[in-house]
Amino acid sequence: MQSRLGVATRRAIMLLPFLGSAAAAQSLGGLSLRGTGAGFDIADLATRSSSITISSFSELIEATVTNQTVVVRLNTLRHTWAGDLTARVSFVSAALGTTFNWTLLARPGLQTAPGGLGFSDDFNGNYSFGEFDEPSSLFTGDLIDYMALGPLTVLPSGDYFAFNGQDYGSPGAAFGGLNPNGVWTLSLIDAVGGDVGSIGSWDLAFNTAAPMNVVPEPSSVALMAAGLGALAVAARRRRSA
């Protein structure tokens, strides 16, 4: 169980995204923008989605403790009663034909709010999700605890870590080491009637690094062998002289 000091420290960290870090909220965690998905209406008791197709990458998604891996920003998300919503990013890998999922939020407050309907606070802003990184204060906002502090009208725009049934849902664990080529889809699921909304667009960013242990193509091997042979001949001629 956390001490009172631990709870206070966590809540202080949680509020950092709203204390002068608006620039960070727009930076996608320092990563380059890779694509923007179209916006859509969020309907009652329905799933709505939008996709981005990524291609032509030869590097893998890098997952390290010092870099953001994947960042998703929900632009102009509007929805009354936040506890209705689940937001999920799915990636269908072109290389593997496999689907990988990352849940950004899952009906916040459903287990703790009175009546089992989730938090009644509203989304109305820009919300980014990425890797929790306390040393750099990146994505340390906790939307679950922030709403639980008590009652709010609107959840502030900012950088949050994902809530995937437990704290610190990690995009690195979901996508690290994968080739990013394929179809990335944002889905917003409204589980309860009576409240609707919309999203203006969504942005995708990810960090890549050169793949390790790449075997050279046959043509590259042949050129390398020819070059080594030329060096050997030159060395022999120098010794003979």
Say if 233 falls within a structural domain: no
206 band by pLDDT with thresholds 50, 70 and 90: very high
Say if 62 falls within a structural domain: yes
Domain that holds residue 11: 4-215
Q: Does residue 236 register a pLDDT over 60? A: no
Higher-confidence position of 90 and 164:
90
Task: Return the pLDDT at 201.
Answer: 98
Say if 235 falls within a structural domain: no
Task: Return the pLDDT at 199.
Answer: 98
User: Mean pLDDT, to the nearest integer, of 7-20?
Assistant: 46
Task: Return the pLDDT at 70.
Answer: 95
Task: Return the pLDDT at 9.
Answer: 45
Say if 30 falls within a structural domain: yes
Say if 50 falls within a structural domain: yes
Say if 118 falls within a structural domain: yes
Higher-confidence position of 118 and 184:
184
Say if 129 falls within a structural domain: yes
Higher-confidence position of 226 and 193:
193
Overall domain count for the chain? 1
Task: Return the pLDDT at 72.
Answer: 96
- One-letter-per-residue 3-state SS of the chain: CCCHHHHHHHHHHHCHHHCCCHHHHCCHHHCCEEEEEEEEEECCCEEEEEEEEECCCCCEECCCCCCCCEEEEEEEEEECCHHHEEEEEEEEECCCCCEEEEEEEECCCCCCCHHHCCCCCEEEEEEEEECCECCCCECCECHHHHHHCCCCCEECCEEEEECCCCCCECHHHHHCCCCCCEEEEEEEEECCCCCCEEEEEEEEEECEECCCCCCCCHHHHHHHHHHHHHHHHHHHHHHHC
Q: Does residue 230 register a pLDDT over 50? A: no
122 band by pLDDT with thresholds 50, 70 and 90: very high
What is the pTM (predicted TM-score) of this model?
Answer: 0.76
Task: Return the pLDDT at 108.
Answer: 86
